[in-house]
Each structure stands twice: as structure tokens, then as C-alpha cells.
């Protein structure tokens, strides 16, 4: 999917919501455990009730990998279901991969070619030749970790390098990578005021913003500092939507939570006019 | 496996060789492609001829993930074969994972509990709460990326933070993590002289050293600067061993390449006496 197709969807749906499919067998409603594939059954139910309210889904790959082959099958079924029934949806493999050149190409093939995701999250620590193999795929997007929403972000990401925080160094250096127009960035919502500085370095790129809701970030603050002329934001919510109810009505309750966020987003988009 | 068991194996085999199982269907001998599971057939043949010459095997997970479920099955078969037939071998999942707390626990379960690897490589960018979930598993080892052997290492890892290179900051900060005695570190051999500085910060931990051979590092140099009283080194070689021949004799040729390195290692160990 191209960036302009994504922007079109955002305008159409008045939503820049991404729903995180962090599907955990210990947290999904008990009645689904009788299903042949409870992980996929849960995902399908969530997708069926929420797809008109969001523009993206983001399975975190750890949740699938934790179940071995069973998990990979559920992941394959989920992405196939999305691509076949909702090709207008932007799909994100939240995998946080990254390795030396040839090996990153393997990861890129796994997620871009075999599984047909539109994008993947990538860790920047190994630098240029670990990121560029992902950028080489046209119409695919590499979402680089810049400033994450966890406590550990302060260990290294906010430390000063040449008078500049490491995450800003990551933003600036990555702009010089080949095909850097295919970059998006993870910037956590728990540090919304940082978004102003982020936008000075990368005014145009899309940001994937976790941490709204469960992790305490404010949607309004994120929009205030992060929105650009193309909107340029994907706000992720996982637990706050998919685990809002553990009863039989879970998919309906998830939709109402998603609708709440979408309403809020529609208001923010109106402000831009 | 405990660290002292690993040291015992090194003394017994007079080897601190780790063989990288970066198994690529495009590079393995053609005749194996007729096998029901060519990836496992290749790995098994390499293991059968080399297990007495090395103390560790390291499948790079990207190579398996690239083949989807087929790849995961081959990975499962490989680790099961190793654990059942060679429990004395130290196994490394070269996965370079890392995510926020709960999610890292998922990755840890995938590799430590389900697949029963002894260790996993982890990226440090997200800090403490992305690493500690791996460290929580007793008798399992977390191999943190410090200084990698690729060009991109110079993008961030060698940049100065508070007058100290980022990779040294990673070494020092990680020492404060809970259960940090379960840490090992990746330090590339292409920068052997850096090992002297590394040893000032972490005199006792094991180092996993890629980049000897194919990437140009010298074994002698690595030993000179990196060896400690427990040896404290695992030297990895992948392509130089497993793809030394593409003919039917590939496993035999791999063994002779491994034997060459093991001989060299035995000499280095003798120097310590």
C-alpha cells in the first residue's frame, strides 16, 4: 500500500486508529477456546466488528511466536483474512527485527513477501545495513523504533550523543538511508511533548504512536504536537480495545471502544480544516 | 545449561567454537532438495560430523522464519535433535528480539520454554524492561548486542554518550539489570582491539564473537584481547564452515574446516596454562 492510499483511507474513515492484535490465549473469552483455532477466531471477530473504524491492524509477532507453529498458522490466517477481505487496511507486523544485511533481507522476505504485510517494525541499533534491506521493497514501509513508550526508553534512547538525544540521532541518520521515503517511526505517546522535536527532524513521515490509553498517553496531546498536513499519525491501541470485555459480547464492546477513539479522531481531523 | 557446564565442555573439547546454522535452501547442496525436509537434513548432517569439534550451535532465526511454517518445523526438529542427542551442546537462538516487558516475556517463552534453547540474542535499544524478562529464566542466557560486526555498527554503537561509546554504555547499564549474571554479549571480531576495553567493563561475562573468517576477523587477536580465566569466548563461524563445499561431501568438508578452527583454539588454550 502506498502512503497516499493510506492517507486517503484516513480521510475516508475519519480515523487514524491502529488496532493491536496482541492475542493472548489467557486473555481471550473462554468460550473461544473450544474453537479449532481460538487465536484466529478471536482476531476475525475483532476485525469483523472494527474494520470500518480503523485504518490499520498490528499483530505483535511475539504473541504468535510464543505458540510456535500453532501461532504462526494463526498469524498466516489472520493476515490472509485481512488481505483478502480488507485490502484497504494497512497491516503492520510488529516484529522489531533487525540483523546484518543478508539476514535482514530474510526477515523482510518473511513479512513482506510470504506474509504480505504492508510494513514491519525494525530496531535501529545495528544501523544502516540492518535497515536498508527492508527499505528496498517498493510500496512496503519500515517502521523504525525511535522513542518507545516503556521505562527502558530512558536507558539509551534519551541519552545525549553529540548534544542530541540518541532517538533524534536515529531520526536524522535514518534520513540518509537509501529509500528513506519508505520510513515511518515509532514514537511513544507517553512523551507527547517530544513529538514537537520529532516533527522538526521528520516533518513528513508517518509516526506509529503506541501508549495511548493503557499506557497513559493523551490522544489530544499527540495530535497537537504530531499531526502534519498528511495527518501523519497512526495511533495504536491494543488491550484497551481487544480486551475491553472478556464475555461473549467482546467483539461488540471492542467496536464501541474503537468507535470512541474514532469519534475523538474525527474531531481532531475537523480542527485541521 | 549453566556457565560452569559450558566452561567444562570447552576444557574437555579444547574448543570454544560455535557453528552458525544459517541454513539457506539456495546454498545447500542440490541433492538435499529431494529430502522431505532439506533444512533439517542439512543441519543434521552438519551436526553429526561437527558436534565433537564445537561447544555451541547458533541457528539464525531469520533463515527459518523466511520459510514460514516449513522453516519453523525445521527449526523445531533441529533444536529437538540437538537437545536429545547432544545435551552437552550450548544452543543459541540468534533472534535479536526485544520488546516492552510482557511482550519480551512472550519471546523468552517461545525460545527458552517451547524450543528449549539455552540462550537468545537480544537487542538493547528498548532498555531494561525489554531485557530483564529474558534474564528472569534460570540457567538460560541472554546475549545482548553490544558491538556488532557490520558496517552499520558505526551509525550508533560507537558514537559517544557522556564521553563513552554507546556500546560501552550498554555494557555498563546492563550490569545493573536484575539477574545480570545471566548476560553474555555480542562483540564483533572485526574490531578485536575493542575487546580490551570491553574486558575492562565486563571481565567475567562470556562474549559471542561473530566475524572470524568470512567477515575478516582474526582468531588470534580475539583471544589476545578477549580471553579471561573462564575462557569467556564463543567464536562463531557460519558460512566458512557450513558452505565450505556444495557437493555431496559437504558435511565432511565442514568438519575439516571446524577441525582447523578447533586446532587453532586448542593452541590458544594451551597458551593459558
Contacts of residue B160 in chain A, CB cutoff 8 Å? 161-162
Question: From the candidates B24, B156, B186, B189, which should be mutated to test the interface with A, based on the most A CB atoms within 10 A?
Answer: B156
Residues 6+ apart with CB under 8 A from B182: B134, B135, B137, B138, B140, B141, B142
Output the pLDDT for position B232. 98
CB distance A131 to B152 below 8 Å: yes
B211 pLDDT band, cuts 50/70/90, is: confident
Among A7, A4, A1, which residue's Cα sits nearest to residue A234?
A7
Residues 6+ apart with CB under 8 A from A214: A237, A238, A239, A240
Contacts of residue A155 in chain B, CB cutoff 8 Å? 124, 127-128, 173
Output the pLDDT for position B202. 97
Output the pLDDT for position B218. 87
pTM above 0.80, yes or no: yes
Closest partner CB to B156 (pick from A99, A101, A169): A169
The residue in chain B having the minimum alpha-carbon distance to the alpha carbon of residue A211 is B100
List, for residues B185-200, the tens digit of each pLDDT value.
999 887 778 999 999 9
Inter-chain touch A150–B73, beta carbons under 8 Å: no
List, for residues A236-254, the tens digit of each pLDDT value.
999 999 999 999 999 999 9
Question: From the candidates A126, A159, A169, A170, which should be mutated to test the interface with B, based on the most B CB atoms within 10 A?
Answer: A126
Inter-chain touch B124–A149, beta carbons under 8 Å: no
Q: Above 90 in pLDDT, residue A214? A: no
List, for residues A218-236, the tens digit of each pLDDT value.
889 999 999 999 999 999 9
Nearest-neighbour CA in chain A from B126: distance (Å): 5
Name the active-site residue from A96, A128, A224, A252. Answer: A96
Q: Can you tell me the ipTM of this complex?
A: 0.96
Among B254, B195, B197, B240, which residue's Cα sits nearest to residue B220?
B195
Our answer to whether residue A273 is catalytic in this structure is no
Inter-chain touch A129–B152, beta carbons under 8 Å: yes
Output the pLDDT for position A192. 78
Inter-chain touch A150–B101, beta carbons under 8 Å: yes
The residue in chain B having the minimum alpha-carbon distance to the alpha carbon of residue A164 is B161
Joined together, the cell numbers standing for residue B218 give: 582474526
A11 pLDDT band, cuts 50/70/90, is: very high
Q: Above 90 in pLDDT, residue B212? A: no
Contacts of residue B127 in chain A, CB cutoff 8 Å? 150-157
Higher pLDDT, A43 or B211: A43
Domains annotated on chain A, with CATH:
3-272 (3.20.20.70)
| Residue B44 touches chain A, beta carbons under 8 Å | no
| Residue B154 touches chain A, beta carbons under 8 Å | yes
| Residue A172 touches chain B, beta carbons under 8 Å | no
Q: Above 60 in pLDDT, residue A205? A: yes
Inter-chain touch A150–B127, beta carbons under 8 Å: yes
Inter-chain touch B127–A73, beta carbons under 8 Å: no
Joined together, the cell numbers standing for residue B117 give: 534453547
Inter-chain touch B69–A60, beta carbons under 8 Å: no
Please give the C-alpha separations between residue A45 and each of A38, A48, A81, in angstroms, as whole numbers.
Answer: 11, 5, 11
List, for residues A62-104, the tens digit of each pLDDT value.
999 999 999 999 999 999 999 999 999 999 999 999 999 889 9
Q: Above 80 in pLDDT, residue B217? A: no
Average pLDDT over residues A207-228: 85
Q: Above 70 in pLDDT, residue B75? A: yes
Nearest-neighbour CA in chain B from A189: distance (Å): 14
Inter-chain touch A129–B115, beta carbons under 8 Å: no
Amino acid at each position: 500500500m502506498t502512503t497516499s492510499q493510506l492517507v486517503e483511507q484516513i480521510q475516508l474513515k475519519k480515523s487514524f486508529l491502529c488496532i493491536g492484535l496482541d492475542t493472548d490465549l489467557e486473555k481471550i473469552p473462554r468460550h473461544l477456546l473450544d474453537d479449532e483455532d481460538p487465536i484466529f477466531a478471536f482476531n476475525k471477530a475483532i476485525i469483523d466488528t472494527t474494520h470500518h473504524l480503523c485504518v490499520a491492524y498490528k499483530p505483535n509477532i511475539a504473541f504468535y511466536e510464543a505458540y510456535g507453529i500453532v501461532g504462526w498458522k494463526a498469524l498466516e490466517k489472520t493476515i490472509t483474512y485481512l488481505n483478502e477481505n480488507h485490502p484497504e487496511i494497512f497491516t503492520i507486523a510488529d516484529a522489531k527485527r533487525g540483523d546484518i544485511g543478508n539476514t535482514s533481507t530474510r526477515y523482510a522476505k518473511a513479512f513482506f513477501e510470504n506474509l504480505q504485510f504492508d510494513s514491519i517494525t525494525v530496531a535501529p541499533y545495528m544501523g544502516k545495513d540492518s535497515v536498508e534491506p527492508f527499505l528496498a521493497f517498493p510500496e512496503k514501509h519500515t517502521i523504525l523504533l525511535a522513542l518507545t513508550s516503556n521505562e527502558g526508553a530512558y536507558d539509551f534512547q534519551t541519552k545525549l550523543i553529540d548534544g542530541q538525544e540518541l532517538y533524534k540521532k536515529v531520526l536524522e541518520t535514518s534520513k540518509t538511508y537509501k529509500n528513506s521515503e519508505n520510513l515511518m517511526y515509532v514514537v511513544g505517546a507517553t512523551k507527547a511533548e517530544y513529538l514537537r522535536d520529532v516533527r522538526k527532524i521528520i516533518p513528513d513521515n508517518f509516526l506509529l504512536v503506541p501508549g495511548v490509553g493503557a499506557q497513559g498517553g493523551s490522544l489530544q496531546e499527540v495530535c497537537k504536537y504530531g499531526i502534519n498536513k498528511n495527518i501523519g499519525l497512526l495511533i495504536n491501541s491494543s488491550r484497551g480495545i481487544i480486551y475491553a470485555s472478556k464475555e461473549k459480547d467482546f467483539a461488540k464492546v471492542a467496536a464501541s471502544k474503537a468507535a470512541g477513539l474514532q469519534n475523538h479522531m474525527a474531531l481532531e481531523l475537523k480542527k485541521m480544516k
